[in-house]
Structure 1
Amino acid sequence: MTSKRIVLVFLALLLPFSLLIGYWLHLLAEDRFDKDFRHLRQQQSLGIRLGNEALKEDFEALFRDVAYLAALAPIHDALNDDAEAAREQLAKQLAEFVAHKPIYSQLRLLDASGMERVRVNLTDTGISITPQPQLQNKADRYYVQETLRLAPGHIYVSPIDLNMERGKVSTPFEPMVRLSTPIFAGDQLKGMLILNYRAALLLQYFRDATREVPGEVMLLNTDGFWIVAPDPDKEWGFMRNRSDLTLAQSQPDIWSRIRNTNKGQVSLTSGLWTWESQFLIYSDFAANLHAPAGQTPMIFDQNIWKTVTLVPKTQLDDIKQESRTQLFRLGLVLLLAWSGLALAFCHSKWQKA
C-alpha cells in the first residue's frame, strides 16, 4: 500500500468520525444547556420564594405585636381627655415593650383628630417618652389618613420608605415600615396605634435569604423603584427625588410585564427575568396569628412589594460556554483516541504492504 493510499485511508477513518463526534457533541451541548437553563429557572423561582417567605415571616411577628398592643387596657383610657395618669401608665408600658423589642423606633397613640397622645422613641441614646407639650398633630401624614379609613380589626401596612425628620430624609438612611390599627369604642373611632418598625432588619433578612441565588436579586415597590438593588446607589430613588432610578426607566420592556402581571418568567436579550408580586393577605397568616381574646381578628390585604431576579445574558453565555468547553475537551479526547487507533490501523497496513 502506497503512502498516499495510507493517508487516504487515515482520512477516511478520521473525517466521518470527526463529523459524527462534532454533531453528537453539538446535540449534547444543547441538551446540557437546556437542562442547566431549566435548573436556573427553578433556582430563580425558589430564590424569590425564599426571599418572600423571609419577609412574610417577619411581618407575621409584627402583626402579632400590633394585636397585642391594641388590646392593652390603658389604650382606651389614654384616649380620654382627662386621662393624664392613664397616658403616663401607657407610656411606661410602651417603653417597656420597646426595651424588650428594640426593633421599633417609635410607638404612638393618636386620637381621632390625629393628635399624638403618647409617643415613645428609641434612639441611639436610649428610650424616651415625649413630654406632652412636644406632642404633635399628624393628621396630614399619609399613614394616618389611611388608618382613619380602616374598619375595626384592620391593620394598615405602609410602603417601605425612609425615615424623615423635619421634612428631610434622615442620614444615614433608616428604612421604615409603619403599621397602624384604629382603636374603636363600640362603633366610635377613638384613635389609632402606630408602630414604626426598623425595616433595615426586614431587608437584611431578605438579602440573607437570597444570598445564594444566581444573578441579581431586586426588591421593588409598586412604582418600580428599587428598595434592594444590585447597585446600592440605585436604591430609594423615590425618597431622593430621583425619578430616573426605576426599572421602568432602565428596562421599560420588562417593567411593563412586571407591572401588569403578578408573576412570570421570561428570557429577553437582557437575560432571564423572574418576578412575583407579593400581597399581605390575612388568610396566609390566619393559622399562626390569633387576635387576643375579645378582639376582632386582624385583616390586611395589601400589595406591598415586587421581588425580581435577573440572570444577565453575559452570565447565561458563560453557562453555555462552560458547557461547550467541557464537551470540547471530551470531544478532543475522543478524537485523539480515535486518531491513535486510526494511525495504528494504517501503520499495520503499511507494514503488511
Structure 2
Amino acid sequence: MNKILSFGIPCYNSSAYMDHCISSILEGSDYAEDVQIIVVDDGSTKDDTLAKAQDWERRYPGIVKAVHQENGGHGIAVMKGLENADGTYYKVVDSDDWVDADALKALLKQLRRFEELGTRVDLVISNYVYEHVEDGKQNFVSYEALPKNKIFTWDEIGHFTMSKYLLMHSLCYRADVLRDGGLPMPPHTFYVDNIYAYVPFPRCKTLYYLPVDLYRYFIGREDQSVNEKVLTSRIDHYWRVARIMMKSYHLYDDIKSAKLRSYMLSYFTIIMAICSVFSRLSDRPDAMDELDKLWAELKAYDPRMYRHAKHGVVGTFTNLPTKVGEKTTIGLYKAAQKLVKFN
C-alpha cells in the first residue's frame, strides 16, 4: 500500500519515553497501513534505544521502520528520516512528544482526501500544545492568521503574533518539497527546527490549515534543549542556526510574496533576538564579541535585513546598550517567558 504520511522520530538515548511517542501514532492512526513511522536512532550510547526501535519494527513490520546512524545530531536524524520516508507527506515528532489521536485521525482524513482528488497541497498546518510537566498546565497554540479548512497561498495569510509563529510541531510538508532544494542541516547542532520551519517556506505554493490540536510538546525535562540553562550553555548553536537562516535568502530580493517576506523577516528577527538575549545570559567570556560578529556579518550580507532585525521594535529592546539596558533586555525576556511559557 502507498504511504500517505511518514513520521520521522529522531531518537538519542530516548528509551525512557520513545514508546509513548510511537504508540500515540499507532493508536491514533488505528494502525493504518498507509502510515509509516521511521524511528531514527542517532547513535545512542546510554540505553537500548536502537533495540527498542527494532522491536517496534518486528511487531509492526509494515508500519514501523528502525534506522540507525552514527551520531549526527537532531537535524541529521530528521534528514535520515526523510531519506527513508515513503509517504507523500512527512512530519517530524520528537521522541519525548506525542500526537493526539482524534487530531491525527482528522489529519489523515484530510491528506487522504487530497490524494483521492489529486490535489497538491505543499504544506498542511495544525495546532500544537505545550504540555508543562511541572504544573500540569497546557498552553494551546492556534493560528488565527490563517484561513481555516481551505487551500490558500501565502498572499492570503494575516498577521502572526509573536507567540504564534509556525514551528516544526505545526508543520506537515509534502516530502518532495523538503527534498527539492534540500535543507542545510548542520551536524551536532540543536535548534535546527528553526531552519526546518523557515528555509522550505518559499517552495510551498499551496497551504492548508487544519485547526486541530495535533502535536503535544513536552516541556519540563532538565536536559531539554529549550530549558533556559541548557539553551544558554548552547548559545553557539543558535549563532550557527542564525547564520544558516541569514544566508538562505536575501529576503527583500528573493521572496516575491510581500506577506511571506514580512513573516520571514519577523521570524528571523526573533531568532536574532534570541541570540541577543541568551548571549547576554551566557557565562562565555566571548559571548558578546561573538554576538557583535554575528550582527556585523548580517549587516555586510544584507543591510536591509540588518536594519529590520536590529533597529525594529524587537531588535531595539533586545539590544539595549549599557548595563541598565542589559538588565532591561533580560527583564523583558523573563516577562515574555512567563506569559508564553515556551521553556
Report if TM-score (shorter chain) is over 0.5.
Answer: no
In the superposition, the TM-score normalised over structure 2's length comes to 0.22
Q: Which has the higher contact order (CA 8 A, sep 6+)?
A: 1
Larger radius of gyration: 1
